[in-house]
């Protein structure tokens, strides 16, 4: 008689990864949740989370809050990761965790560049990075939304860009600036040449969102799904292990903008996201209503957009200093 050994269940972190993918969360969320779960396990001497409970979770969160003094956003990130691990992977509810007090949110106003400063930064960018910088400022897209832009989602006739699967999984439409139509058409032509080369070499198609790759087997090899900003080389897909062409790496865009800010000799701590902040602020300054700006940015709640309304209160909430009323 031959006996077969029972299959070993997948490791906990692999189960976590699978559950995150089932929920269609982004790769960055997957890596973040795995990071915090691994730290939590190591913090408690490699004990299995199923063997731990409220006491251990509180101890870890207290360590983050008091000893590591992490920012409020970082604390909430760790808390969400542990909630997901216990509820979605282990099937354990943690109703008591609602009473855990995260660090207080510190209201911070976003860094905003003037139009002159934006021009100085964009002038220091070159090639495709300048086009991406101009798109970030001219459309209000987030960094990953721009990096993952596909050819089919750019409508040159209507001068619109469809932003797919943005924050919260929502789609939205933003404008395509008239000044960027020709440069973007040239970039699409460049991307098309890479696409045709990939097809000649019979390389695998580009990654498709969610289950589309299984539903439409050949869609990844169609031009419309190809990246507007493709990488100049192939790499291994971190989820499927398929070697294929991905979009431009967001880290390279971040580094290019950082170098441009330094070269422009700005004193403000600006980044790629600062261009989005500046887009929203300059629209409000131009008199556009806040609901329109909310839709362009893809904010679920107008209160998020309201943070940009501080620009309307120039010079200390619009108050004229008595110093300026003194006779010269």
Query: What is the spatial distance between Cα 50 and Cα 85, in angstroms, rounded to a whole number?
Result: 10
Q: What 3-state DSSP class applies to 218? A: coil
Domain boundaries, the chain: 12-99, 115-311
Do 40 and 60 touch, CB atoms closer than 8 A?
yes
Given the structure tokens 């495709």, which residue do they identify? 128
The closest of 114, 123, 127 to 264, measured between CA atoms, is 123
pTM as predicted: 0.81
> Under CATH, which architecture does the 12-99 domain have?
Orthogonal Bundle (1.10)
Q: Any idea what DSSP says for residue 88?
A: I
Query: What is the spatial distance between Cα 279 and Cα 118, in angstroms, rounded to a whole number?
Result: 10
**pLDDT tops 70 at residue 298:** yes
CA 13 to chain centroid, in Å, comes to 23
Q: What is the average pLDDT score of the chain?
A: 88
Token pair of 126 as six digits: 């070159």
Average pLDDT over residues 166-172: 82
Token pair of 97 as six digits: 């965790």
Do 289 and 306 touch, CB atoms closer than 8 A?
no
Assigned CATH class of 115-311: mainly alpha
Query: What is the spatial distance between Cα 30 and Cα 23, in angstroms, rounded to a whole number?
Result: 10
Indicate if the alpha-carbon torsion angle 72, 75, 80, 83 is positive or negative. Answer: negative
pLDDT, tens digit (0-9, with 9 covering 90-100), for 108-135:
788 899 999 999 999 999 999 999 999 9
**pLDDT tops 80 at residue 310:** no
Which residues belong to the active site?
A: 142, 167, 273, 276, 299, 308
Task: Tell me what pLDDT residue 313 has.
Answer: 59
Q: How confident is the model at residue 107 (pLDDT cuts 50, 70, 90)?
A: low
Task: Tell me what pLDDT residue 197 has.
Answer: 95
Alpha helices in the chain (DSSP H): 12-22, 27-43, 54-62, 72-84, 115-124, 127-139, 143-147, 181-200, 212-215, 250-263, 272-285, 290-297, 302-305, 314-317
Token pair of 246 as six digits: 């991905």
Q: How confident is the model at residue 87 (pLDDT cuts 50, 70, 90)?
A: very high
**pLDDT tops 50 at residue 7:** yes
Task: Tell me what pLDDT residue 1 has.
Answer: 47
Task: Tell me what pLDDT residue 27 has.
Answer: 86
Q: Any idea what DSSP says for residue 42?
A: H
Query: Which neighbouring-strand residues pair with 1?
Result: none
pLDDT, tens digit (0-9, with 9 covering 90-100), for 43-65:
999 999 999 988 899 999 999 98
Which H or E element spans position 303? Answer: helix 302-305
Q: What 3-state DSSP class applies to 162? A: strand
């Amino acid at each position: 008689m031959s006996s077969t050994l029972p299959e070993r269940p997948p490791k906990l972190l692999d189960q976590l990864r699978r559950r995150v993918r089932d929920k269609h969360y982004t790769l960055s969320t997957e890596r973040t949740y795995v990071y915090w779960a691994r730290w939590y396990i190591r913090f408690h001497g490699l004990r299995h989370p199923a063997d731990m409970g409220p006491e251990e979770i509180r101890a870890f969160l207290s360590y983050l809050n008091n000893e590591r003094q992490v920012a409020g956003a970082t604390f909430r990130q760790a808390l969400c990761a542990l909630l997901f691990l216990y509820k979605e992977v282990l099937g354990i509810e943690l109703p008591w965790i609602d009473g855990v007090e995260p660090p207080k949110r510190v209201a911070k106003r976003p860094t905003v560049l003037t139009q002159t400063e934006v021009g100085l930064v964009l002038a220091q960018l070159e090639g495709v990075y300048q086009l991406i910088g101009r798109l970030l400022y001219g459309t209000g897209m987030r960094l990953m939304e721009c990096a993952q832009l596909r050819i089919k989602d750019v409508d040159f006739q209507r001068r619109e860009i469809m932003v797919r699967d943005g924050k919260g999984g929502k789609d939205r439409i933003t404008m395509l600036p008239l000044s960027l139509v020709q440069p973007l058409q040239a970039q699409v032509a460049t991307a098309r040449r890479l696409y045709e080369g990939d097809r000649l070499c019979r390389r695998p198609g580009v990654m498709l969102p969610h289950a589309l790759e299984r539903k439409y087997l050949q869609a990844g090899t169609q031009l419309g799904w190809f990246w507007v900003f493709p990488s100049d080389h192939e790499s291994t897909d971190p989820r499927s292990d398929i070697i294929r062409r991905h979009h431009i790496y967001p880290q390279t865009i971040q580094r290019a903008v950082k170098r441009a800010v330094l070269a422009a000799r700005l004193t403000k701590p600006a980044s790629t996201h600062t261009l989005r902040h500046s887009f929203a602020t300059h629209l409000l300054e131009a008199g556009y209503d806040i609901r329109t700006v909310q839709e362009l940015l893809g904010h679920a709640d107008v209160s998020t957009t309201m943070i940009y309304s501080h620009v309307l209160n120039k010079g200390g909430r619009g108050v004229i200093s008595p110093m300026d009323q003194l006779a010269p």
